[in-house]
């Protein structure tokens, strides 16, 4: 591949990846920033290109032919001419051991697939800023030994911070899991006894007492769901949730998710309409994760729709993807809400100023699960006109490591 020339001030990025599809995806995500992007398919060619072009940043896959990403990173960091080049390791390996091994050979940061554009750009810009700072400090070292020692100290601090952040992330996950177990034990007792009282197994209750017991039970269930959602977010973010894909009936999955809403639908005298185009009848995805996505979207639609209305679920094929839409006739969302509604703990404010109920995690989890499949999710709405939550999933999943 011929060397590309770059204008002054343009950052040069080398992508080392053996999958052309992943290369084109990263090029598309980075292209809008004006970077000069080159790519190679194996570890040996990466080392040759590094010595020739000296890029500003390397996006390095771990699983490479000829030389692994770990070997390439170790050789980069042992070469005095290119050791200061930031290396972001890109991988589908989620275990802590692989990350620690990457730190040991000198990796500066990590990206785990699937990644969205904002995450990739943020990491790249951060590493390029560090590279710029590193270059400025390096030039100062040519003037005096004191500057050299200062640079080495800063590099050690950065390395130490990277290791500490990795360890803190793991400890944070362990804390959340342990805390959830500690909370669930007394919470299960509260829910269990409140159900006994509801069923009047220990004596008949008057209307006031029954109302209070129902409030206790409902609050217990809400807290139980909040704990589950928090743990799910941390599991997804730390790579503890594998993607287990299989082919199955999409319509059956939608109908099952709608059945889970039966009690809430009957209470509000609503209906859920399901329409699946013949060409979208089957999909290759993770059935459990798709069920979570659908139940979160349907739960929101039912909660915000008026009594007697209909929630519509439609699925159709668009290109190589399945496009699903959950449409309600609720109060709708503002333009700002549409952009932020998938953010963790974000709650939409109603026109009268009161925030919506719930944990603010359901849609965030749905987005993470859609991205794991390689799909996209967004909201379309106007105030007073209902909302449509739309997501796409590839009809056939690529074989990949998660």
Model confidence at 173: pLDDT above 70: no
Decide the pairing of beta strands 109-112 and 57-61.
Answer: unpaired
Q: How far is 228 from 205, CA to CA, in rounded Å?
A: 31
pLDDT band for position 284 (50/70/90)?
very high
Q: Is domain 246-394 classified as CATH 3.30.70.260?
A: no
Neighbours of 14 (CB within 10 A): 22
Q: Tens of pLDDT along 56-107?
A: 999 999 889 889 999 999 999 999 888 889 999 987 766 677 788 888 999 9
Model confidence at 146: pLDDT above 70: no
Tell me which of 193-202, 221-230, 261-270, 384-393 is least confident: 221-230
Question: CA 292 from chain center: how many Å?
Answer: 14
Listed in sequence order, the residues at least 6 apart from 164 whose beta carbon sits closer than 8 Å to its beta carbon are none
Model confidence at 167: pLDDT above 90: no
Model confidence at 32: pLDDT above 90: no
- pLDDT for the residue 349: 67
Listed in sequence order, the residues at least 6 apart from 42 whose beta carbon sits closer than 8 Å to its beta carbon are 16, 18, 64, 65, 66, 67
Model confidence at 157: pLDDT above 70: yes
Listed in sequence order, the residues at least 6 apart from 374 whose beta carbon sits closer than 8 Å to its beta carbon are 114, 393, 394, 397, 398
- pLDDT for the residue 156: 84
Q: Tens of pLDDT along 114-128?
A: 778 888 899 899 999
Which of these, 269, 251, 257, lies nearest to 294 by C-alpha position? Answer: 257
- pLDDT for the residue 2: 40
pLDDT band for position 143 (50/70/90)?
low
Q: How far is 129 from 352, CA to CA, in rounded Å?
A: 44
Model confidence at 3: pLDDT above 60: no
Tell me which of 166-175, 181-190, 219-228, 347-356 is least confident: 347-356
Q: How far is 43 from 47, CA to CA, in rounded Å?
A: 7
Helix residue ranges, H only, 68-142: 69-78, 96-104, 117-141
Mean pLDDT over each residue of the chain, to the nearest integer: 84
Q: What would the CATH number be for the domain defined by 12-143?
A: 3.40.50.2300
């Amino acid at each position: 591949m011929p060397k590309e020339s770059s204008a002054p001030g343009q950052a040069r990025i080398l992508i080392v990846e053996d999958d052309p599809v992943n290369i084109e995806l990263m090029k598309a995500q980075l292209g809008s920033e004006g970077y000069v992007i080159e790519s190679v398919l194996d570890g040996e060619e990466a080392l040759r290109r590094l010595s020739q072009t000296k890029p500003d940043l390397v996006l390095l896959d771990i699983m490479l032919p000829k030389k692994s990403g770990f070997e390439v990173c170790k050789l980069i960091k042992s070469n005095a001419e290119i050791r200061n080049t930031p290396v972001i390791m890109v991988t589908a390996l989620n275990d802590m051991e692989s990350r620690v091994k990457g730190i040991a050979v000198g990796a500066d940061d990590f990206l785990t697939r699937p990644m969205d554009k904002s995450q990739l750009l943020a990491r790249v810009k951060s590493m390029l800023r560090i590279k710029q700072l590193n270059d400025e400090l390096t030039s100062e070292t040519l003037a005096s030994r004191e500057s050299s020692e200062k640079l080495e100290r800063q590099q050690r601090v950065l390395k130490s911070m990277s290791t500490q952040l990795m360890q803190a992330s793991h400890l944070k996950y362990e804390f959340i899991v342990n805390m959830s177990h500690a909370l669930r034990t007394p919470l299960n007792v509260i829910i269990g006894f409140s159900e006994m009282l509801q069923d009047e197994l220990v004596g008949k209750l008057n209307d006031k007492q029954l109302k209070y017991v129902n409030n206790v039970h409902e609050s217990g269930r809400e807290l139980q769901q909040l704990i589950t959602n928090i743990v799910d977010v941390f599991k997804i973010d730390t790579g503890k949730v594998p993607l287990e894909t299989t082919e199955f009936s999409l319509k059956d999955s939608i109908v099952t998710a709608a059945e889970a809403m039966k009690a809430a639908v009957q209470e509000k005298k609503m209906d859920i309409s399901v329409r699946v185009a013949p060409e979208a009848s089957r999909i290759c995805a993770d059935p459990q994760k798709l069920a979570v996505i659908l139940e979160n979207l349907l739960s929101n639609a039912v909660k915000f729709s008026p009594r007697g209305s209909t929630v519509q679920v439609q699925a159709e094929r668009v290109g190589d993807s399945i496009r699903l839409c959950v449409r309600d006739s609720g109060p709708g969302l503002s333009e700002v809400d549409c952009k932020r509604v998938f953010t963790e703990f974000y709650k939409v404010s109603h026109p009268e100023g009161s925030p919506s109920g719930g944990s603010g995690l359901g849609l965030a989890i749905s987005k993470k699960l859609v991205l794991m499949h390689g799909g996209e999710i967004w909201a379309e709405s106007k105030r007073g006109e209902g909302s449509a939550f739309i997501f796409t999933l590839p009809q056939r999943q690529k074989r990949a490591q998660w």
